[in-house]
Chains A and B, each alone.
Chain A
Amino acid sequence: NAGVTQTPKFRILKIGQSMTLQCTQDMNHNYMYWYRQDPGMGLKLIYYSVGAGITDKGEVPNGYNVSRSTTEDFPLRLELAAPSQTSVYFCASSYEGGSSGNTIYFGEGSWLTVV
């Protein structure tokens, strides 16, 4: 049981390039999330999904896109990378939404630097 797996672990992008952060979970969770964590700050929600085919914006969605074609996968795409997107990105999943009190499981993070 691998839990939540994110790739790549580290990536350096040039300004204007695009890339996709991959996230997959093997726990059959309905809910999946993408967060970013800037130095000394808490996590901020970028996008989330309540099930395959359904996605919604979080607190900081600008400059990102997501899709959820399967229950297991929730990729995050960065279009036209900017220095402000330099951050650590965390994918997470839970069986139900936060109001249910389900445990949320996090991946180990993807460190992205835009230069």
Chain B
Amino acid sequence: KQEVTQIPAALSVPEGENLVLNCSFTDSAIYNLQWFRQDPGKGLTSLLLIQSSQREQTSGRLNASLDKSSGRSTLYIAASQPGDSATYLCAVNNNDMRFGAGTRLTVKP
């Protein structure tokens, strides 16, 4: 059974810092991995999707990497802003999508 773990559960940083969020998974036979953002009281918004054959994806200040063999992915956020404050979830897809519990990020002005 696929298990997805995200560390840390919560992170607080000052504005302008670069930061890394971690996601690990137990079954490397995945089709893809996605990173989502969830704002309080809202649904999830897809940020980046990495196919199993890819090593990384970039969108603006966000960069996601995937190391399938070691069961790890990272989400790198450059020059963090208060508007980045949200919960970030990763989800891995092998026939069905399994989510981690998320990292709650606070960026302080």
- Interface of A toward B, CB cutoff 8 Å: 4, 33, 35, 40-45, 48, 58-59, 90, 92, 98-99, 101, 103-109
**Given A99-B31, A101-B49, A101-B51, CB of A42 within 8 Å of CB of B42:** no
Chain A residues with CB under 8 A of B4: 42
- CB pair A98–B93 under 8 Å, yes or no, is yes
> What does the 1/0 interface line of B91-109 toward A look like (CB < 8 Å)?
1010111111110000000
User: Contacts A40-B101, A41-B101, A42-B89 hold; do A99 and B43 have CB atoms under 8 A apart?
Assistant: no
Chain A residues near B101: list those with CB within 8 A.
Answer: 40-42
Which secondary structure dominates chain B's binding surface?
strand
Which positions in B face A, CB cutoff 8 Å? Answer: 4, 9, 31-32, 34, 41-46, 49, 51, 89, 91, 93, 95-102
B96 and A109 contact, CB distance less than 8 A = no
Interface of A is mostly: mixed
Which A residues are in CB contact (< 8 Å) with B41? Answer: 108-109
* Cα of A40 to Cα of B9 in the assembled complex, Å: 9
Known contacts A99-B93, A106-B44; 15 additional CB pairs below 8 A are: A33-B97, A40-B9, A42-B4, A43-B89, A44-B99, A48-B96, A59-B96, A92-B44, A98-B31, A101-B49, A106-B43, A107-B43, A109-B41, A109-B42, A109-B43
